[in-house]
Structure 1
């Protein structure tokens, strides 16, 4: 059992889950019929090798999966979120030796489906959470929203010593695919995968990194660089990614990171670990150059993108999970987590690793 004290907040454990079916980029291209030259170029890039997706069986004649209706996509989101979201929750709680009845606050993040009541209610009903559970659904913020949710839970835990909170990021990106012959949809369909991640947040404990501080940075002039538009022809929402957004994000990362570090009396060389959102190969490259990071510093971010593609809001938690599983973080070392998404928005957080078995 975790040793719950008071005063600060720690990420006690992280769990992740994905659809069972794994596809190579070539397989995705064939199944979805992605023939646009931009999509073909992106599918051939080395940054992503496989993605886990909820796809229907292919047509035996064409070899392609059928184009799902809006109703079918909505149902896929609901069932997929419960399946992999539930498995991520179970993994995170098991790692912390907790059960759903121990959780006092559940915050769920998604941008790939809309339910009323939200997915937090779905999990509450199906997984046995307590009836006085505090529930929040963060919908539509995009890839940066995992850190927005973490911020809210950290503040709650700090003012509710001894209580446990749970962050769940659940994205069924394949429920938002639009299939046509445009570069716009080809980019999206060649990048995003399905995945869920959950993190247990508790009062000060020796079982995970402490979350020390947050810093946000908004670029309102680029509000339309990442967005959903309604596609009348398809009768679906269609996601748009500006081709320049990786470089815009990279050029603006230094400001929030510098503010975060300076406020805490730190310099970039004080940071031993970097956990970044897996926005795409160009995003990681741009961030690495902007912050002066080594390739080793972004190894987990690279590997998550390689294995799963961009899974939106939960990507940074899977990168953190790999860092924690690696066991390379030493007591007293610090890390910075960074996410970015629509707004355009950059979110950062400072974490600090503690000695096992000792409270700070």
Structure 2
């Protein structure tokens, strides 16, 4: 009887302990970690030098005087250097007639370089991968690219695969969001994400200014990464995902149409970058930050911003709307140590930096990535991360903010926490002589060759033979 009473008295405590243990165990498995990643670096014979860029522009038959001059000015002001990479067919002079096989080869080169190095470095077998997400926005094939990877690396029959297209430059965060959602319902998972863009079939050969601009900005690149929610691997991981926010303004006509693949007047397919793009990006950016800020900033900063905003409203009450008044500015540096900005172009970096009140030190990784690798679409923020890692900026406990913009129109962002000190030992930036970055004077070779072209030269400037 006494034994029965003793067990009975402890039974509620045992139940509480069991429930608490299961809660904590489930919470542990819901965390999303970045185990490792591998950036893509094409061979040196794919570099776009100043001279070669000029040759590519000159041999485009459909360009007139205005378009030729527009392209040269765009390259001069792009912030892109002459060591970025382009698809093989451009160097073979076939950008006006790429084949389907060219596009497939471009993707297979990316897979072979990134996935094989990543698996070797992490010691993960292809058979251990539970989830595979591939995002290549502008190439759809049959079988899918994710199926090609499964076939090439002989992955398991029960692997969960996702093949994303049309997601634009912010696609890698969409992929990570899918993985994060899966981790919440499945324990001890390993997920691979492959992110890139297919430039081969999307080189525009027409003369629409809103479309030829994409040829100046987008470059070859890509990244493969492995994510996990295994507690046993937590100490080996690089980053832990704290939060991820996605903003989609596709319901707005202006936002939907500002960044879209379409045909020009002659029926040539191209990627249209509209004049409303800056406005659409700004609106999506603001809405994204409104949702993100309460999740990543300390309460004291949110209170300071709230009090400042209310005070300014009271002081400005009754004033004319045309009167320029000071605005309350939130300080994101109170909750963030490092900023990975999407390298959509010089203007994109400058605008985001100004909005967040960032210093030159903060935006140096984004500027150098744009200069060295160009806009590599959805993989661009990972090249920025690679720069920080190689510069040994990332220390355990640091908070890392990533933000990107994409067609739709979308603005996606996330906050990572550095799990261990990162050295960037096997990073593509090491092969780029990272010690020389940033250069004392960031000269643009295109400026020296084409920067003399001015608006008043339009009537005298002649196309080269």
**TM > 0.5 fold call:** yes
Q: Which of the residues 126, 140, 143 maps onto 2:169?
A: 143
Deviation string 1:321-340 (CA, Å, 9 cap, x unpaired) is: 33233332222221111111
**Alignment partners' CA distance in 2, 1:8 and 1:328:** 24
1:52 is paired with a residue whose SS is: coil
Match of 2:385 in 1: 320
Match of 1:154 in 2: 180
1:108 is paired with a residue whose SS is: strand
Q: Which runs of 5+ in 2 are unaligned?
A: 1-27, 61-66, 302-331, 423-465
Tell me if structure 2 keeps the 8 A contact 1:172–1:195: no
Match of 1:56 in 2: 89
1:335 is paired with a residue whose SS is: strand
**Alignment partners' CA distance in 2, 1:350 and 1:115:** 33
**Alignment partners' CA distance in 2, 1:214 and 1:142:** 17
**TM-score normalised to structure 1 length:** 0.88
**Alignment partners' CA distance in 1, 2:193 and 2:244:** 16
Deviation string 1:218-274 (CA, Å, 9 cap, x unpaired) is: 23321100000035745x531001244245424542432242131345351220011
**Alignment partners' CA distance in 1, 2:184 and 2:384:** 25
Match of 2:33 in 1: 10
Shift of 1:56: 3.0
**Alignment partners' CA distance in 2, 1:160 and 1:106:** 14
**Alignment partners' CA distance in 1, 2:96 and 2:157:** 36
Match of 2:199 in 1: 173
Q: Is it true that 1:164 corresponds to 2:221 in the alignment?
A: no
2:194 is paired with a residue whose SS is: strand
Match of 2:410 in 1: 345
1:317 is paired with a residue whose SS is: helix
Match of 2:352 in 1: 287
**Alignment partners' CA distance in 2, 1:315 and 1:53:** 15
Structure with greater proportional helix content: 2
Q: How large is the Cα RMSD of the aligned pairs? A: 2.3
Q: How many residues align?
A: 345
Q: 1:181 to 1:231 in 2, by over 3 A?
A: closer
Tell me if structure 1 keeps the 8 A contact 2:78–2:217: no
Match of 1:256 in 2: 288
Match of 2:339 in 1: 274
Q: Which of the residues 281, 290, 300 maps onto 2:365?
A: 300
Tell me if structure 2 keeps the 8 A contact 1:108–1:169: yes
**TM-score normalised to structure 2 length:** 0.69
**Alignment partners' CA distance in 1, 2:50 and 2:100:** 24
Q: 1:331 to 1:58 in 2, by over 3 A?
A: closer
Matches for 1:31-110 after TM superposition, within 5 Å: 31-33=56-58, 36-45=68-77, 47-50=79-82, 51-56=84-89, 65-69=93-97, 72-110=98-136
**Alignment partners' CA distance in 2, 1:321 and 1:103:** 24
Q: 1:131 to 1:258 in 2, by over 3 A?
A: same
**Alignment partners' CA distance in 2, 1:122 and 1:32:** 34
More displaced 10-residue stretch of structure 1: 252-261 or 290-299: 252-261
Shift of 1:166: 0.6
Shift of 1:106: 0.5
Q: Which of the residues 142, 154, 157 maps onto 1:131?
A: 157
Tell me if structure 2 keeps the 8 A contact 1:173–1:193: yes
**Alignment partners' CA distance in 2, 1:230 and 1:292:** 39
**Alignment partners' CA distance in 1, 2:173 and 2:292:** 14
Shift of 1:290: 1.2
Q: Which of the residues 52, 55, 64 maps onto 1:30?
A: 55
Match of 1:227 in 2: 260
Deviation string 1:181-220 (CA, Å, 9 cap, x unpaired) is: 3312321111111111111101141221101111122233
**Alignment partners' CA distance in 1, 2:132 and 2:147:** 9
Tell me if structure 2 keeps the 8 A contact 1:11–1:201: yes
Shift of 1:41: 0.5
Q: Which runs of 5+ in 1 are unaligned?
A: 60-64
Structure with greater proportional strand content: 1
Match of 1:214 in 2: 244
1:253 is paired with a residue whose SS is: helix
